Amino acid sequence: MRKKKINFLSNKELLKAIHDSKMGYCYILDNKYYLYDIIIREGEEITPELIQEAKENRAKRESQELYNQAVIAWDAVDGARKDKPKQIDHKVEPDIFADDDITVRIMTFDHIPAEKRKKNPKTVSENHTKCNFPPFKHYGKIDGDWKEVVRSHWQGGLDNGHFSLLEGNTSRRLGMMLMKMCEHYGMKGNWRGYSYLEEMKGAALVQLSHVCLYYDESKGNNPFSYYTTILSNSFTGVLNQEKKNQRIRDGLLEQAGSMPSYSRQLDDEADQQRARQATVDKVVEDRKKEGFNYL
């Protein structure tokens, strides 16, 4: 049986894992509101145009799900290549969805406790308790009205529940993805030769674990780039710290009359070579000014 290859670290899979982790911190009225069809910012209105866009997004998602299920069934019976399902045969039209089928995510802080964390706050978030990811609510149309059906950072009911940052957790799948990203990034040619590579990967994994849910889906669909930027900054930070420690260590060894590290010796030799070349260049320039010719 043929098995479909899945890119474990693709943006699509990362977004799924991030979403699953965030929903662990949420109050959910019904599982049919677990997924959202569109994201808007606080203050934006749910217009007919936005609802139509949400229906198109929903149709695209369900079309892909139907196609994937058809491919799995085709693989299970080891079907012929000519019989492989086609995406066009599993296309779902947006018109089949009613307004009641749509779930809208609104990014908002109105359910987060007020807390002035900075003397001169510059953003809305700095006026509220610090959260482990941007807070949101989901709205669905019930009995003709848009009502809140999901609330992030909340445990219990909407009326008798409470704000909470501790009830959920990062999913095992997302944790494995972060570990795999650290391993792959450490294999790059500009990092794998360092003796303290494991320290780099450890520091990067700690940083990723701390901020992995900060990714805001309303600002884009490329968490892979977001995570690799964090990895790059973390690896570079460890490298700079190790270089600083090495300079201090070499300085102490030189003061004690001992040989410094080989890299310090190479750096000193390179500095001396540059100084000699600068002296030669200055002599040549002075001679040219005096009228001497140099080829």
In the chain, where the domains are located? 25-163, 172-255
pLDDT digits (tens, 9 = 90+) for 78-98: 888 888 888 898 899 999 999
Name the pTM for this structure.
0.82
pLDDT band at 295 (very low <50, low <70, confident <90, very high): low
pLDDT given for residue 37 in this prediction: 94
pLDDT digits (tens, 9 = 90+) for 33-51: 999 999 999 888 889 999 9
Question: Pick the residue with more confidence: 260 or 177?
Answer: 177
pLDDT digits (tens, 9 = 90+) for 180-224: 999 999 999 989 888 889 999 999 999 999 999 999 998 889 999
Question: Pick the residue with more confidence: 256 or 139?
Answer: 139
pLDDT given for residue 262 in this prediction: 67
pLDDT band at 273 (very low <50, low <70, confident <90, very high): confident
pLDDT digits (tens, 9 = 90+) for 100-121: 999 999 999 999 999 888 888 8
pLDDT band at 1 (very low <50, low <70, confident <90, very high): very low
SS (H, E, C) 17-72: HHHHHHHCCCEECCHHHCCCCEEEECCCCCCHHHHHHHHHHHHHHHHHHHHHHHHH
Contact 118, 51 (CB under 8 A): no
pLDDT digits (tens, 9 = 90+) for 49-77: 999 999 999 999 999 999 988 888 888 88
Contact 211, 172 (CB under 8 A): no
pLDDT given for residue 137 in this prediction: 95
Residues in the chain: 295
Tokens representing residue 51 in the block = 């609802």
pLDDT band at 3 (very low <50, low <70, confident <90, very high): low
pLDDT given for residue 173 in this prediction: 93
Question: Pick the residue with more confidence: 54 or 290?
Answer: 54
162-163 vs 154-155, strand pairing mode? antiparallel
* Average pLDDT score over residue span 149-176: 91
SS (H, E, C) the chain: CCCCCCCCCCHHHHHHHHHHHHHCCCEECCHHHCCCCEEEECCCCCCHHHHHHHHHHHHHHHHHHHHHHHHHHHHHCCCCHHHCCCHHHHCCCHHHCCHHHCEEEEECCCCCCECCCCCCCCCHHHHECCCCCCCEEEEEEECCEEEEEEECCEECCCCCCEECCCCCCCCHHHHHHHHHHHHHHHCCCCCCCCCCHHHHHHHHHHHHHHHHHHCCHHHCCCHHHHHHHHHHHHHHHHHHHHHHHHHHHHHHHHHCCCCCCHHHHHHHHHHHHHHHHHHHHHHHHHHHHCCCCCC
- Tell me the percentage of the chain whose pLDDT exceeds 70: 97
